[in-house]
Structure 1
Amino acid sequence: MIRYQRVLAAAGSLAASAALCFGGTVASAATSGLPHGPGPQAHYTVQKQPAPGSCHYRSYHNQPLPDSHCTPGALNPKVTARTLKSTICDPGYSSRIRPPASVTGAEKSANAKSYSYRGSLRDAEYDHLVSLSLGGDPNDPRNLWVEPPSPGHRPGAGPNNDKDKVEARLHTAICSGRVTLASVQKAIATNWVTAEAKLGLK
């Protein structure tokens, strides 16, 4: 038993070290397990993106998923189970904390190179993996990726991703008390396509 406890302690130390290396805080077992970013800022600055070509898209049922190493997700520390009413469940909250286009535009161009994205940037969304409406960090590079259009998207029509619809339904589920904040954040960061099914919402 003592040896097993030592192994668990060592594993916990490694997890903590990994989180701190990314500049995040260590999450407790009762949370989603995702790191926290710096949270909303009065003045956002352009963040450094992963090296060109270092990130690789995945897919599930033909839907795009990010590289889990480049884009694991990061959380807004201001959003907790206790602050839902004053944060994500308060209409307009996401708009108030969203970085300006002057910052995200430069980041998007750089992130497209990180992912070797060759399509039209007009049709791709610079997406928060854990959306702002679900308590994702506004400008932590671990929570942002150039999301290609969903299958069937008409070229030149601008961003139109199925993930946005999933996020809207999950937001409603959180604010209505059907699911917990942490469970949603973990599910969408793992695989947004299966998130609702894993949470028993479909």
Structure 2
Amino acid sequence: MKTLRRALGAALALSSTSALAGDEPPLNPAVTQLTIDETICVSGWTKTQRPPQSTTGPIKRALFRGDGLPDEAFESAILDHVIPLELGGFLDDARNFQLEEAEEAREKDRTEHCLRRAVCAGLVTLAEAQAAIWRDWRSAAALCGDRRRSARVAE
């Protein structure tokens, strides 16, 4: 099982670094800098935006087949939005999904939450957060951390 988990983690790491940077990010047109106070900055708003399993299931299967992952690892792989819903990512555009290992998904979730808080606090624009996480969520985490430190210093 550990060998399968390591293999899955390595394959998903390759999958999650797909060449998206040149593509136009799939964004929810209802979420803009002008609408964040009525959308992403409202507690619980993203829960109203979840795509149904009838949409996500086929996307997950297609990504799984495309990445050549073993069938027995299907249940342990997480289908995640590249630009999260809480940053105005399009909810059911196939380009906005990637497969992740559970630990990586939890780490990315922390970055997503931090970036949303920074956007809602006015420390970073929505467009900056979206562009950063679209390019590379790990680098986006540094943006969030830099902004948090800057805000504390300014206080």
Query: Which TM-score band applies after superposition, normalised by the shorter structure?
Result: 0.7 to 0.9
How many equivalent pairs are there? 135
- Over 3 Å counting, the alpha-carbon distance change for 1:58 and 1:117 in structure 2 is same
Q: Which runs of 5+ in 1 are unaligned?
A: 1-55, 152-159
Task: Give the aligned CA root-mean-square deviation in angstroms.
Answer: 2.5
- Mapped to 2, the partners of 1:195 and 1:80 lie a distance apart of 19
The 5 Å alignment of 1:4-153 reads 65-69=16-20, 72=23, 73-118=25-70, 120-150=73-103
- Mapped to 1, the partners of 2:61 and 2:93 lie a distance apart of 16
TM-score computed with the length of structure 1 as normaliser: 0.59
Letter aligned with residue 134 of structure 1: L
CA deviations 1:18-54 (Å, max 9, x no partner) are: xxxxxxxxxxxxxxxxxxxxxxxxxxxxxxxxxxxxx
Contact 2:16 2:98 in 1 (8 A): no
Q: How far apart are residue 70 of structure 1 and its match? A: 9.6
Q: Which moved further from structure 2: 180-189 or 112-121?
A: 112-121
Greater share of helix residues, 1 or 2?
Answer: 2
Letter aligned with residue 188 of structure 1: I
- Mapped to 2, the partners of 1:71 and 1:91 lie a distance apart of 32
Letter aligned with residue 141 of structure 1: A
- Mapped to 2, the partners of 1:116 and 1:78 lie a distance apart of 35
Of the two structures, which has the highest relative contact order with CA contacts closer than 8 Å and spacing of 6 or more?
Answer: 2
1:122 partner SS: helix
- Over 3 Å counting, the alpha-carbon distance change for 1:85 and 1:176 in structure 2 is same
- Over 3 Å counting, the alpha-carbon distance change for 1:134 and 1:69 in structure 2 is closer
TM-score computed with the length of structure 2 as normaliser: 0.75
Contact 1:133 1:171 in 2 (8 A): yes
Q: Which runs of 5+ in 2 are unaligned?
A: 1-10, 150-155
CA deviations 1:83-138 (Å, max 9, x no partner) are: 00111111222111211122212221122112223362222111100000001000
Report whether the alignment pairs 1:176 with 2:125. Answer: no
Q: How far apart are residue 183 of structure 1 and its match? A: 0.4
Runs of 4+ displaced beyond 4 Å: 56-59, 69-72
| Aligned twin of 1:11 | none
- Mapped to 2, the partners of 1:76 and 1:121 lie a distance apart of 28
